[in-house]
Structure 1
Amino acid sequence: MTKLDKSEAVARSILGAELEPEECTALAEKIGLQEIRKGELVVREGEARRTLFVLADGKMSVCKADGKSETCLYQLRNGECAGTRAFLDGSERKAMLRADTDGVVLTLEPEDFEQLIESHPRLVYKVMKALFRVTHTNLMRMNLESAELRNYMMKTGGRY
């Protein structure tokens, strides 16, 4: 696999949207790298792992399983992150992450991130804003999908 500059990967990610280059470097020092292989289960639904995942290269899907089958809910794009809820509040995973191709994922543990509070408080603030935007975007997308489904079921609000 090609070498990945973590600082550049952070800068290109959702987390790095507002960060200065030196802040990207400071955050990159706390971030791990995980190579993923096509078909690999990166994290399981129900797992207590609090890691935040940022897709740096490749394709990865957020999936739910009902015991018999697996449903893909969303395919991450490079720079997007998954696991914000578990990262922030420690709740168990509500979905699994599966690698659709070989690639690289940036990983961030809450304990490592929290070490930046004293030395880089503005960086922490900017990353928390980015995580809020991710959560808000996901909520807006789910609300839109719910409205479209409701319109489809009720045969209102569209050409069904």
Structure 2
Amino acid sequence: MGQIRQLGLFATLKPRELRVIDDLLQERRYLKNEIIFDEGEEGQTLYIVLSGRVLICRQGDPGTGRIAEVPAGALFGELALLDGAPRAAQARADEDCVLASLSRADFKNLIETNAVIASKIAFQLAWELGQKLREGFLAMDRRPL
């Protein structure tokens, strides 16, 4: 999984640290329209889109359910690493895609066994979440009242 070097989440990691992460990541292929997780499901995993595109949408909201499209190189489900709360939306493969995943259990174990790597990832994760919040607030500002 040499692609992880280019991902922002792992941008500050050294080659040795990247190998540790590479051993933790699970790679899986999804077919177009295959559900990755459902809204309300317990969140236990962060996903990274290695190829393809993922659609994030809310159920029972016809026409307005689409929340985001996640392109290759981006991540989603990151709150699962922090809180394990139920998923706020459904994730579905918008086209055939390959995802890498990091489980909450593996991340917690990483915190205990290699705090330096875990703290670098946590810092980048906080930055990514901040960016998403900022983008969400900007989108709200542009909506008509």
Same fold (TM over 0.5): yes
Two-structure CA RMSD over aligned residues (Å) = 1.6
TM-score, reference length from structure 2: 0.92
Structure 1 outlier segments of 4+, above 3 Å: 67-70
Q: 1:14 aligns with which of 8, 11, 25?
A: 8
Number of residue pairs the alignment of both structures matches: 145
Q: Percent identity?
A: 26
TM-superposition CA deviations, 1:37-95 (whole Å, max 9, x none): 11111110110031111111111111112165562211112221111112211111001
Q: Which residue in 2 is equivalent to 1:47?
A: 41
Is 1:144 matched up with 2:138? Answer: yes
1:1-160 correspondence to structure 2 within 5 Å: 6=1, 8-66=2-60, 68=62, 71-149=65-143, 152-153=144-145
Matches of 1:73 and 1:51, distance apart in 2: 19
Unmatched segments (≥5 aa) in structure 2: none
Unmatched segments (≥5 aa) in structure 1: 1-5, 154-160
1:39 is paired with a residue whose SS is coil
TM-score, reference length from structure 1: 0.84
Bigger Rg, structure 1 or 2: 1
Displacement after TM superposition at 1:130 (Å): 1.2
Matches of 1:30 and 1:122, distance apart in 2: 16
Matches of 2:71 and 2:23, distance apart in 1: 23
